[in-house]
Amino acid sequence: MKIQERTGAGQGRSAAPAQASVGDRLPTPPRERKPALAALAVLLILVGALGATMLVLQAGDRIEVVKVTQEIPAGGKVTDSNVTSVMVAEDAAINYVKWNQLSALKSLKAKSTIYKDTVVMGQMFSEEVGATQGKTLVGVSLKAGQFPADIKVGDTVAAYRVTEGGSGSGGNSSAPATGGNSLIVDNAVVSTVPAANGDELVGSTNSSYTLAVDNDDAGALAQAAANNEVVLVLVPSSN
C-alpha cells in the first residue's frame, strides 16, 4: 500500500527543466547605431581626399620654358637647333623665358656664354652685345671684299692678317695677295654691324664692325686693323 502511494506520488511529479549547456551564449542586445560618428568618418575621408587633390594640382602647376641644348657664345643667338622645351614649376620670382616666346627670343643676343643644359632667363639676352668678362671689343674698318656678305650680329668669324707679298704694311687692294696670311682670332663674335641705311665712315668707303674677342687677342687684332690688314672669314655654325 505504501509502495503504490509512493509510486503514484512519483508519477505525479513534473520533470525538472533542463539546465542550459555551458557552451551556449546568452543573447546580446542589438548595437546602438551612431549616425553622427559615421558622418564624421565620411567627412574626414572627404577632407583627406581634397587635400591630396590640392597637392597634386599644385605639383602640376608647371610651365613650358626654353632650355639650351648646345652652348651659345656671347653675342650668339637662339636657333631651333640649339634649344628645346622643358617643364618647370612656375615661380613668379624667376624670369623664365616661356616656350611661346621663342620667336621674340631669336631676335636677341646672348650677353655672355650660355652653357648647355641651362634653363634660359630673360636677363641672359639683350638687343646689343657689350664687352663681357674675358672679352674685349675691337673695332675694324673693312673694305668690300674683306668681310663676308650679309654678316650679322652674333655671327662667329675668324680674323686673318693679310698683307701684300708679306711686306707687313697696309695694302690698298681689296683683294690682298696671300704672301703674309696669318690667323689672328679664330672665334671672334660680331657685336655690331653697319646700319641698313649705311654706316660707312665719313669720307671713306669702308664699313665699320665691332668684334668681341678674347683679351689676349685684342692687341694683335687692333694693330692689324689699324694697318688695314684684317680680313674676316665666317665660321660655319655647328648648331
The runs of H, that is alpha helices, within the chain are 2-12, 35-59, 102-105, 215-226
pTM over 0.85: no
The predicted pLDDT at position 172 comes to 41
Tell me what the mean pLDDT of segment 100-116 comes to: 87
Q: Does residue 137 surpass a pLDDT of 80?
A: yes
pLDDT one-digit tens code per residue, 5-30? 555 555 555 555 555 555 556 666 66
| Predicted confidence band of residue 159 (pLDDT cuts 50, 70, 90) | very high
pLDDT one-digit tens code per residue, 164-182? 654 444 444 334 444 457 9
* CATH, range 62-126: 3.90.1210.10
| Predicted confidence band of residue 119 (pLDDT cuts 50, 70, 90) | very high
Residue limits of CATH 3.90.1210.10 in the chain: 62-126
